[in-house]
């Protein structure tokens, strides 16, 4: 049996150890530990300040680059969109500031954003699905509709694409204008024509820029509603591409610092590039929120007009930050309207030769090497990883 002396010795040992620890901790050992911790904190503070300085310098350099791009953009884009009547289609939640900036960029390039069509939240409301279906059935007989992306029945997305680009079943009836009015009356569309322009006197747009909305990757991954909105957006884009209308999808997000980049880039742009049937008929830029992206957007639209769509920016499957600069369009006013003849004297690049837009023998395509390899008329740069 363990007696009282054993317990007493154990208690004494515990207290002695505690006393020794206190003495050492308050003495030289404590000073050494304290000095080590202070040194580590000091190093971390200096590292933080250094990183903060580096970030500030990087942001300053980026601002300077943007200033340079702003200075050269008018020269680079001059007459790239001469006489083009461009429609801006804003998906739900699209940035109004970006819409205004793209309008200005198009004007600098010689074109005009004649109409802005904003899709209202009701467009993606599940409760309005039946109304959308009935309206599509009502308007479809008067229009030449593209093939629906999924199914055979007319959809509101195909009606929107046909109406906005003047695809009347019988030329001159103005059915496309009536269709746009009906979409607005039903609360699906908010249409604003540029001052001095209207659907009656000016005719339909001949090119389209689609601005992606507020839909995020997180919404697509986490919410069923997000996936529905993505499919509706891709349906609209596919419809414009199927009609053969020069179309650019302008997305945002990749100018921000994010790892991985997929967390910040537009899921609509990523969806466009992932589906070959759409990627082959429309162009995209994933960093339209930045000066470089807006310059790329103008040039990308020009290449789409020349029949050479491509995908540029900093995100997934981008072939390069920006396309090559094509030869400017003629300065004279071009014919407009849904039934107008081809609206440029520049020949559309033949996929079998190396000539891009402009001079057939000298001008490179948006992704050609300086040697003008005739087997490579379209962008071939490896995907850019930010």
324 domain residue, yes or no: no
Say whether both 71 and 97 belong to one domain: no
Can you give the pLDDT at residue 17?
Answer: 80
Tally of domains within the chain: 2
| DSSP conformation letters of 220-234 | HHH-HHHHHHHHHHH
Nearest to 208 by CA among 169, 161, 255: 161
Give the mean pLDDT of 152-175. 91
Confidence band (pLDDT; 50, 70, 90) for 14? Answer: confident
Rounded Cα gap, residues 144 and 140, in angstroms: 8
140 domain residue, yes or no: yes
219 domain residue, yes or no: yes
Give the structural domain span for 54.
Answer: 1-77
Can you give the pLDDT at residue 343?
Answer: 38
Can you give the pLDDT at residue 222?
Answer: 83
- For residue 288, the domain's CATH number is 3.40.50
Q: What are phi and psi of 139, to 5 degrees?
A: -90, -25
Q: Which helix (H) or strand (E) holds 112?
A: strand 112-119
Confidence band (pLDDT; 50, 70, 90) for 1? Answer: low
Burial profile 274-311: b = 16 or more Cβ within 10 angstroms, e = fewer: eeeebbebbbbbbbbbbbbbbbbbbbbbbbbbbebbbb
Nearest to 215 by CA among 205, 225, 207: 225
What is the torsion angle, in degrees rounded to the nearest 10, for the CA atoms of residue 296, residue 206, residue 95 and residue 276? -60
Name which residue leads in pLDDT, 211 or 203. Answer: 211
Say whether both 150 and 176 belong to one domain: yes
State pTM to two decimals: 0.74
Please, what is the average pLDDT of the chain?
Answer: 82
Name which residue leads in pLDDT, 328 or 201. Answer: 328
Q: How many CB atoms lie within 10 A of CB 319?
A: 19
| DSSP conformation letters of 62-93 | HHHHHHHHHHHHHHHHTTSSTT-EEEEEE-TT
Rounded Cα gap, residues 262 and 233, in angstroms: 18
Q: What are phi and psi of 287, to 5 degrees?
A: -125, 45
Say whether both 226 and 138 belong to one domain: yes
Are 354 and 306 contacting, i.e. CB atoms less than 8 angstroms apart? no
Q: What are phi and psi of 9, to 5 degrees?
A: -60, -40
Give the mean pLDDT of 201-228. 85
Give the mean pLDDT of 267-275. 95
Q: What are phi and psi of 192, to 5 degrees?
A: -125, 115
Name which residue leads in pLDDT, 259 or 305. Answer: 305
Domain boundary among 312, 328, 363: 312
Structure confidence by residue, pLDDT tens digits, 142-159: 999 998 888 778 999 999
Say whether both 210 and 268 belong to one domain: yes
Say whether both 115 and 55 belong to one domain: no
Say whether both 134 and 44 belong to one domain: no
What percentage of the chain carries pLDDT values higher than 90? 52
pLDDT at 325 over 70: yes
pLDDT at 238 over 70: yes
pLDDT at 385 over 60: no
Domain boundary among 268, 291, 312: 312
Give the mean pLDDT of 303-321. 95
Can you give the pLDDT at residue 237?
Answer: 97
Q: What are phi and psi of 12, to 5 degrees?
A: -65, -40
Rounded Cα gap, residues 128 and 321, in angstroms: 39
Say whether both 42 and 175 belong to one domain: no
Can you give the pLDDT at residue 194?
Answer: 86
Structure confidence by residue, pLDDT tens digits, 16-54: 888 777 766 666 655 666 778 888 888 899 999 999 998
Say whether both 292 and 224 belong to one domain: yes
Tokens 């604003």 locate to: 192
Say whether both 277 and 303 belong to one domain: yes
350 domain residue, yes or no: no
Can you give the pLDDT at residue 86?
Answer: 96
Give the mean pLDDT of 278-294. 95
Rounded Cα gap, residues 4 and 12, in angstroms: 12
Say whether both 154 and 281 belong to one domain: yes
pLDDT at 310 over 50: yes
Domain boundary among 12, 46, 77: 77
372 domain residue, yes or no: no
Say whether both 107 and 233 belong to one domain: yes
Lowest-confidence pick of 9-18, 115-124, 149-158, 377-386: 377-386
170 domain residue, yes or no: yes
pLDDT at 378 over 80: no
342 domain residue, yes or no: no
53 domain residue, yes or no: yes
Give the mean pLDDT of 315-340. 75
Say whether both 198 and 210 belong to one domain: yes
Highest-pLDDT range among 55-59, 332-336, 351-355: 55-59
Q: Which helix (H) or strand (E) holds 117?
A: strand 112-119
Give the mean pLDDT of 182-186. 94
Structure confidence by residue, pLDDT tens digits, 64-99: 888 988 999 999 999 999 999 999 999 999 999 999
Rounded Cα gap, residues 107 and 96, in angstroms: 17
Nearest to 162 by CA among 175, 151, 152: 175
């Amino acid at each position: 049996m363990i007696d009282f002396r054993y317990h007493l010795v154990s208690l004494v040992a515990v207290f002695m150890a505690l006393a020794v620890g206190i003495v050492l901790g308050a003495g030289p050992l404590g000073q050494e530990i304290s000095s080590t911790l202070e040194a580590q904190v000091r190093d971390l503070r200096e590292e933080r300040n250094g990183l903060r300085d580096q970030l500030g310098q990087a942001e300053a350099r980026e601002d300077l680059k943007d200033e340079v791009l702003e200075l050269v953009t008018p020269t680079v884009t001059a007459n790239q969109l001469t006489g083009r009547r461009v429609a801006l289609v804003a998906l739900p939640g699209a940035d109004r500031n970006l819409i205004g900036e793209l309008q200005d960029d198009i004007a600098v390039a010689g074109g005009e954003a004649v109409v802005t069509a904003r899709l209202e939240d009701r467009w993606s409301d599940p409760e309005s699905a039946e109304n959308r279906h009935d309206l599509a059935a009502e308007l479809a007989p008067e229009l030449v509709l593209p093939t629906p992306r999924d199914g055979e029945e007319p959809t509101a997305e195909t009606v929107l694409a046909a109406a906005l680009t003047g695809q009347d079943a019988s030329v001159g009836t103005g059915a496309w204008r009536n269709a746009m009015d009906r979409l607005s009356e039903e609360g699906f569309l908010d249409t604003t024509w540029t001052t001095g322009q209207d659907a009656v006197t000016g005719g339909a747009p001949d090119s389209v820029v689609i601005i992606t909305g507020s839909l995020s990757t997180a919404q697509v991954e986490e919410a069923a509603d997000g996936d529905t909105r993505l499919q509706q957006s891709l349906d609209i884009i596919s419809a414009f591409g199927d009609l053969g209308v020069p179309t650019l999808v302008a997305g945002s997000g990749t100018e921000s610092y994010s790892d991985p980049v997929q967390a910040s880039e537009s899921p609509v742009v990523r969806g466009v590039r992932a589906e070959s049937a759409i990627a082959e008929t429309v162009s995209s830029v994933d960093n339209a929120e930045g000066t470089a992206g807006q310059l790329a957007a103008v040039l990308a639209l020009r290449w789409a007009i020349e029949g050479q769509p491509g995908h540029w920016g900093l995100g997934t499957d981008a072939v390069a930050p920006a396309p090559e600069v094509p030869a400017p369009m003629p300065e004279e006013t071009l014919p407009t309207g849904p039934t107008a003849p081809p609206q440029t004297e520049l020949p559309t690049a033949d996929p079998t030769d190396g000539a891009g837009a402009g001079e057939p023998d000298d001008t490179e395509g948006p992704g050609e090497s300086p040697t003008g390899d005739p087997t490579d008329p379209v962008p071939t740069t490896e995907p850019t990883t930010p």
